[in-house]
């Protein structure tokens, strides 16, 4: 029988102790977000100070600093522990099948809601094409061939330096296979990589203590710069997008969770720390490392988490997919352009490609929207300026939906692969783990 032991960095076991409420990370982040909103609303001059913005940007950069090494160590270790090389390919295929099916549901849901609730009708919009020119220019250079070529780094060092998730993932997979082929000779190096991963997670635990400061800075700057007016002008689209994203999470992902055997609400409670950090920073990457650690604690296979989550950050963008179909219909309605059934089907097909092509691009959600509009009907492109002022508020929900979708994907593929520990899953969903604690759940014989 194996037992679960909480091991700290020192290697000594100790029971999990409950913290005072004011020391719990998600409470601190939630308070910081509220204060950030108030500061941005009441004192926009202070909130838009470069140093306030730097608080949010700095925290995101600290997290991004460790993403590449975490992905490398996790993927290499996961593959090196696998005896059958075919399993890696099997997990990859299953993950891609899941991504495409669920992404299609997200796109279709956005299209259905956009047609049923045409909030863009009656909006007398006069878009400023110059405001979105740079995004249109980026989208015009997006091609499928370039996307696949960009997966291959010009150098290994360059991939780590840029922090390109797919490039690091490719090298990690190749390195893991090479380490697997070394057999016994590779075990010492594999152990070193495992220890390195634990050390990097220790770095993350330290960085996470600054999460409330980062969330405050990012939220204060957003509200201070765009102000409540940006929300009220296009409140219909914002509300509709939020409602559609919630519908996708609670219904589509909820049914997937129920099929596997757990409750979506408990899962959201389990990753609430990561969700609040994403809410504060508007970046799903800011929670990637600790999400991977939590999924392993949840009972998912280490190798599955290492392959599915990093890949999902480029191929499983459910929130972005909903946004693209919904925003495209909204812009068409606002400009008085009728989209035929055939053009709406084109939106689905094009969005499935453009959502992958802009991975890793700054403002990826807006760039993918530009690419989609250009392919469906170029006359729609100037309409991007209509939603430009509220894109920041939309990006938060995109990121929240994306991270939730990737978490569910890892659990589902682990279950599909027959490597989901259901006892560990239910035990973890019924207890609280603070990611600022340097603890890693391991199984000892």
Q: What is the pLDDT of residues 412-426, one digit of tens each?
A: 999 999 889 888 898
More confident of the two residues 310 and 443: 310
More confident of the two residues 45 and 366: 45
DSSP state of 250: I
**Residue-level pLDDT at 131:** 46
**Residue-level pLDDT at 413:** 94
Asked if 122 contacts 333 with a C-beta cutoff of 8 angstroms, the reply is no
Instruction: Please tell me the least confidently modeled range out of 219-228, 304-313, 434-443.
Output: 434-443
CA distances 206 to 14, 97, 210, 427, Å, are 19, 36, 8, 26
Give yes or no for residue 440 having a pLDDT over 80: no
Q: Which two tokens stand for residue 59?
A: 């925290």
The SS3 call for residue 431 is coil
**Residue-level pLDDT at 184:** 79
DSSP state of 363: T
Give yes or no for residue 364 having a pLDDT over 80: no
The candidate with the shortest Cα–Cα distance to 26, out of 439, 435, 341, is 435
Q: Which two tokens stand for residue 283?
A: 């970046």
Domains recognised in the chain with CATH numbers: 3-444 (1.10.3860.10)
**Residue-level pLDDT at 367:** 63
Q: Measured between alpha carbons, how far is 427 from 156 in angstroms, rounded to an integer?
A: 40
Asked if 316 contacts 409 with a C-beta cutoff of 8 angstroms, the reply is yes
Percent with pLDDT over 90 in the chain: 12
Highest mean pLDDT among 113-122, 281-290, 389-398: 113-122
Please report which confidence band the pLDDT of residue 59 belongs to, taking 50, 70 and 90 as the band edges.
confident
Give yes or no for residue 10 having a pLDDT over 70: no
Averaged pLDDT for residues 341-365: 67
**Residue-level pLDDT at 356:** 61
At 127-144, the pLDDT tens digits run 544 544 554 455 455 555
Q: Measured between alpha carbons, how far is 368 from 365 in angstroms, rounded to an integer?
A: 5
Matching residue, tokens 């170029």: 378
Give yes or no for residue 105 having a pLDDT over 70: yes
**Residue-level pLDDT at 365:** 62
Q: Measured between alpha carbons, how far is 289 from 278 in angstroms, rounded to an integer?
A: 12
**Residue-level pLDDT at 58:** 86
**Residue-level pLDDT at 167:** 84
Give yes or no for residue 107 having a pLDDT over 50: yes
Please report which confidence band the pLDDT of residue 406 belongs to, taking 50, 70 and 90 as the band edges.
very high
**DSSP string across 176-190:** HHHHHHTGGGGHHHH
At 239-263, the pLDDT tens digits run 899 999 999 999 999 999 999 999 9
Judge residue 151's burial from the number of C-beta atoms within 10 Å of its C-beta, 0-12 exposed, 13-18 middle, 19 or more buried: middle
Beta strand pairing call for 439-444 and 3-8:
antiparallel
Average pLDDT, the chain: 77
**Residue-level pLDDT at 45:** 85
CA distances 52 to 46, 56, 262, 279, 392, Å, are 8, 7, 40, 17, 17
pTM for this structure?
A: 0.71
**Residue-level pLDDT at 416:** 92
Please report which confidence band the pLDDT of residue 19 belongs to, taking 50, 70 and 90 as the band edges.
low
Q: Helix 391-416 crosses helix 85-116 at what angle (to 10 degrees)?
A: 140
The SS3 call for residue 126 is coil
Q: Measured between alpha carbons, how far is 23 from 59 in angstroms, rounded to an integer?
A: 19
At 183-227, the pLDDT tens digits run 778 888 888 988 888 888 788 778 878 888 888 888 788 778 766
């Amino acid at each position: 029988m194996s037992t679960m032991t909480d091991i700290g960095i020192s290697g000594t076991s100790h029971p999990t102790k409950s913290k005072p409420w004011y020391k719990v990370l998600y409470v601190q982040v939630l308070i910081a977000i509220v204060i950030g909103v108030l500061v941005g609303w009441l004192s926009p001059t202070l909130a838009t100070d470069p140093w306030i913005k730097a608080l949010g940007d700095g925290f995101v950069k600290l997290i991004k600093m460790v993403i590449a090494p975490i992905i490398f160590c996790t993927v290499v270790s996961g593959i090196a522990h696998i005896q059958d090389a075919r399993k890696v390919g099997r997990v990859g295929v299953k993950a891609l099948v899941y991504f495409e099916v669920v992404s299609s549901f997200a796109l279709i849901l956005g299209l259905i809601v956009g047609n049923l609730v045409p909030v863009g009708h009656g909006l007398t919009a006069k878009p400023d094409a110059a405001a979105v020119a740079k995004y249109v220019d980026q989208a015009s250079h997006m091609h499928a061939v370039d996307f696949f070529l960009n997966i291959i780094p010009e150098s290994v060092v360059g991939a780590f330096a840029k922090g390109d998730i797919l490039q690091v993932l490719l090298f990690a997979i190749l390195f893991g296979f090479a380490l697997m082929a070394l057999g016994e000779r590779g075990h010492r190096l594999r152990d070193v990589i495992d220890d390195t991963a634990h050390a990097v997670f220790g770095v993350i635990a330290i960085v996470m203590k600054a999460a409330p400061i980062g969330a405050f800075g990012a939220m204060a700057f957003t509200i201070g710069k765009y102000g409540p007016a940006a929300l009220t002008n296009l409140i219909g689209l914002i509300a509709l997008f939020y409602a559609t994203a919630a519908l996708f999470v609670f219904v589509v992902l909820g049914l997937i969770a129920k099929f596997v055997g757990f409750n979506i609400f408990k899962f959201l409670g389990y990753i609430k720390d990561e969700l609040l950090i994403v809410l504060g920073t508007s970046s799903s990457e800011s929670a990637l490392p600790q999400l991977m650690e939590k999924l392993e604690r949840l009972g998912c296979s280490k190798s599955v988490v290492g392959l599915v989550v990093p890949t999902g950050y480029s191929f499983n963008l459910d929130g972005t997919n909903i946004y693209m179909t919904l925003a495209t219909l909204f812009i068409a309605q606002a400009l008085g352009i009728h989209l035929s059934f055939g053009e709406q089907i084109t939106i689905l097909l094009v969005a499935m490609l453009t959502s992958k092509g802009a991975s890793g691009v700054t403002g990826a959600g807006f760039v993918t929207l530009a690419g989609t509009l250009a392919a469906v009907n170029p006359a729609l492109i100037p309409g991007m300026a209509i939603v430009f002022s509220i894109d920041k508020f939309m990006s938060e929900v995109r990121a929240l939906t994306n991270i939730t979708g990737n978490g569910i994907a890892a659990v589902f593929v682990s279950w599909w692969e027959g490597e989901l520990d259901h006892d560990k899953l239910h035990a973890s969903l019924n207890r609280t783990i603070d990611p600022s604690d340097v603890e890693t759940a391991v199984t000892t014989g």
